[in-house]
Structure 1
Amino acid sequence: MSDTAEQQCRSFLRSRYLYFLSSLCACNARCNIRMYGNTHISCVIKAIDLNFENMVVDELETPFANSTKNALLRITDIISIELDKNTELLKLE
């Protein structure tokens, strides 16, 4: 693969990835997040910082405490994020 073709491919994938992240924050859907330490939480993702190190969430529900209005999660603590199957992200055109 030539350098130009590889750059175009990386650019395309990066733009789709960034669009996915912005759609995820805009859809206001409840997510189930699995974290290290066998912790499962539920929340609504509101924002992700520029360096992809932290995630701002609302309506955080943990097995340890009652619902928290706002919280900041470290991306490195997250193993997986699962959206409700009925959640529709913004459509790519």
Structure 2
Amino acid sequence: MIGYINDQDFKNKDLIRKYVLSANCFEDEKCKDCEFIPICMGGCAFYRIKNMFDNGNFDICSLYKDNGVIEKCICLHLDKLRIKTPSI
């Protein structure tokens, strides 16, 4: 337990530090130099913590790295912009 919603202070500061600091993608060697870090921010922090402390085996690496995904996202975004912008 970390604390109660109506309390001014956390009961278990060590636990909250663990969750906040451990999920930092900028400390992860795999993420630090990745070109997709501004987009994905290191993937799911919950799964990152599960991997580190609960023997999880979750793939937290960005799906944007898959072949063609980022290009498809950009095309969808541009199509959406074209729909919103009336032709002159």
TM-score, L = length of structure 1: 0.27
Rg larger in structure: 2
The answer to which structure, 1 or 2, has the higher relative contact order (CA under 8 A, 6+ apart) is 1
Higher helix fraction (1 or 2): 2
